[in-house]
Structure 1
Amino acid sequence: MESFEDLLNMLERPAAKSSRAVKRKWREIEAVKERQRLRKELEDIDFSFDDDLIEQLM
């Protein structure tokens, strides 16, 4: 999986991209953000949260 910063850098590069490709990247970024929010929420709920659990769910 690409890191969040890599995805942002891809969007900032000047290139002849179709709007469809740009929208797809933004959806990928939103998915990464949602996984980060979920991970943080699970950690807040359970202090013994195992990071491997989230990887199994994804």
Structure 2
Amino acid sequence: MGINERHLDILADYVGARLRERAERPGLTMPARLPAWLKSAEHRAEILRVIGRLRASLTP
């Protein structure tokens, strides 16, 4: 698993989570620095669909 695939996994887990717990040091994690529109539940389905397309485009 390459670094790009790991990043997509992290993004998919974060965006797909219905309940997000705060880290001990908020603001210092990659998901905490994501733009608000990307973290919005309103866009969840579309973002997960795009992450799936990106994952499919990765070369093995």
Mark yes or no: TM-score above 0.5: no
More helix by share: 1
- The normalised TM-score by structure 2 is 0.39
Higher Cα radius of gyration: 1
- The normalised TM-score by structure 1 is 0.40
Flag the structure with more relative contact order, 1 or 2, with Cα contacts below 8 A and sequence separation at least 6.
2
